[in-house]
Amino acid sequence: MPNHCEFRFYEELNDFLPPGLRKRSFSYRFNGTPAVKDPIEALGVPHTEVDLILVDGVSVDFAHRLRGGERVAVYPVSERFELAGITRLRPVPLREPRFVLDVHLGRLAGYLRLLGFDCLYRNDYRDEELLAMSRDEHRIVLSRDTGLLKRAEVTHGAFVHAQDPRHQLREVLERFQLHGRIASFSRCGRCNGTLSRLPISLSIRSTASLAPPWSGP
C-alpha cells in the first residue's frame, strides 16, 4: 500500500515544480522506503540545487529513508543558513572555481573567461564528456539541463536559471561568490588560454616597428 509525505519546497526550488505544486505544501505518494533524494528529484529538483532538508523539523542528508507520514521541507543553496547542528548538503567548495559549461551556454562561457575564470566549453560536448571533465578536473558543471544535474556523478554543479547571458553571468557570480576573484582580461574569451602583459620596453619596440619610415627631406 502506498505511503505519503507532505512536501514543501522554498524559494527558487519552486521553479522546477509543476505550477500547481509551487509555493505550497502538497502530498506525495510513494512505495517502499525511498531515500529522500529520490522523490525530490522525481519532482524535478536536481540535487545540486538543494542545501538543506528538514524532515519533521530535523536536518537530514539525501540518504535519509522516508517511511510515510513525515513533513519534508526542502531549501535551496543559500548563505543564510548559519544554524548549529544542521546538515548542509552542498559539497565543500572547490579551492579554485573552475567550470565546464553545457553546450547551450557559449555566451556565458565567453563572459566568464573575460573575467578571468577557467571555463571549458564546446558546442558539441556530450553529457558523458561533461561529467568526465567535471570529475577528473574538479570542475563545476553549469547547465540548464535538469536531467544532467540529476546524474549521481555530479558533485559540483548548478542550474542556470536566467536565459539572458548577462543575467546568467550575474547569477553565477553571486551563487559562487566570485566577485573578489575577478581578474578581467587575464584569459582569452575565445580559447580560454591565459594572457600576460608584454614588458613595457618590448611593447614600445613592437609599436615603433610598426611606424612608417621617415620620408621628409
Name the CA dihedral angle for 180, 184, 186, 192, rounded to a multiple of 10 degrees: 100
pLDDT tier at 203, thresholds 50, 70, 90: low
Cα–Cα nearest to 133, from 99, 110, 93, 104: 99
The pLDDT, as a whole number, for residue 24 is: 97
Identify the pLDDT of residue 83: 52
- The fraction of the chain above a pLDDT of 70, given in percent, is 83
pTM of the model: 0.82
Confidence of residue 197 (pLDDT cuts 50, 70, 90): confident
The answer to whether the Cα torsion of 34, 37, 40, 45 is positive or negative is negative
Question: What does pLDDT average to over the chain?
Answer: 88
Give me the pLDDT at residue 205, please: 57
Whether residue 214 is predicted with pLDDT greater than 60 in this model: the reply is no
- Rounded mean pLDDT of 108-131? 96
Confidence of residue 196 (pLDDT cuts 50, 70, 90): confident
Contact predicate 60/85, CB 8 Å? no
Q: What are the pLDDT digits (tens) for 94-105? A: 778 999 999 999
On the question of pLDDT at 112 being above 80, the answer is yes
3-state helix, strand, coil in the chain (%, to 5): 30, 20, 50
Contact between 190 and 178 under an 8 Å Cβ cutoff? The reply is: no
- Predicted confidence at residue 95, as pLDDT, reads 77
**Range from 33-42, 109-118, 137-146, 190-199 carrying the lowest mean pLDDT:** 190-199
Cell output for 141: 558543471
As a whole number of angstroms, the distance between CA 210 and CA 197 comes to: 19
Q: Of all helices (H) and strands (E), which one includes residue 172? A: helix 165-175
How many percent of the chain have pLDDT more than 90?
Answer: 79
pLDDT of residue 217: 43
Give the relative orientation of helices 106-114 and 165-175 as an angle to the nearest 10 degrees.
60
DSSP reduced 3-state for 111: helix
Run of H or E residues at 73 = strand 71-76
* Rg (alpha carbons) of the chain, rounded to whole number: 23
DSSP at 69: S
Mean pLDDT over 184-199 rounds to: 88
